[in-house]
Amino acid sequence: MVFIGAPLTPNSLNGSKAGFPEYHHVYVQEKNLQAYQRDGVFPEGTVIIKELVLLKKAGYPDGSSDSPSGRGFGAGEFNGMDVTIKDTKRYAKTNGWAFFNFGHHALPYEATSKEASEAECAGCHKAGAGKTDMTWVAFYPLLRGQN
């Protein structure tokens, strides 16, 4: 698996109402990353893994904390895992992708997951990332061709 990025939308910068208030450490198999970089679509069977990681305990009202390199937003504890799988036949109603959540909480995560409803994940991906193979490429330099 290749690490492709870690976008962050902290609660402290979003009126305590960020939709995803943690880092999203995102991974994909190297061969599937290379295919996307070459073709602009992920191949069948692609699996994208998203580790959810809370911010380090805040020392300041904006949610930041001190570190040896200066004040900023550091990674804290694991807080869940999401998995996305591309299978255009099986998941045709959600533009070829299925979304699974293995827990939005500390370890350990659930061993299995049912497919998330369209309202939980796919609907937003269709609306905002439908033209980029259901993936929010704007947040990942490796998917924007900046490798």
At 129, which helix (H) or strand (E)? helix 123-129
CA distances from residue 46 to 7, 118, 133, 137 in whole angstroms, order as listed:
20, 19, 11, 15
What is the Cα–Cα distance from 23 to 78, expressed in whole angstroms? 9
Which pLDDT value is given to residue 9? Answer: 87
CB neighbours of residue 90 within 10 Å: 14
C-alpha of 64 from chain center: 21
138 residue type, one letter: A
Predicted pLDDT of residue 68:
92
* Tens of pLDDT, residues 25-50: 999 999 999 999 999 999 999 999 99
Q: Is residue 47 a contact partner of residue 28, using CB atoms and an 8 Å limit?
A: yes
* Greatest mean pLDDT range, 64-68, 72-76, 82-86: 82-86
Instruction: Give yes or no for a cis peptide into 10 (omega within 30° of 0).
Output: no
146, pLDDT greater than 60: no
Q: What is the pLDDT of residues 81-132, one digit of tens each?
A: 999 999 999 999 999 999 999 998 999 999 999 999 999 999 999 999 989 9
Where are the chain's structural domains? 2-136
Give me the CATH topology for the region 2-136: Chalcone isomerase (3.50.70)
Count other Cβ atoms within 10 Å, centred on residue 117. 11
pLDDT above 70 for 138: yes
Please report the pLDDT score of residue 44 as a whole number: 98
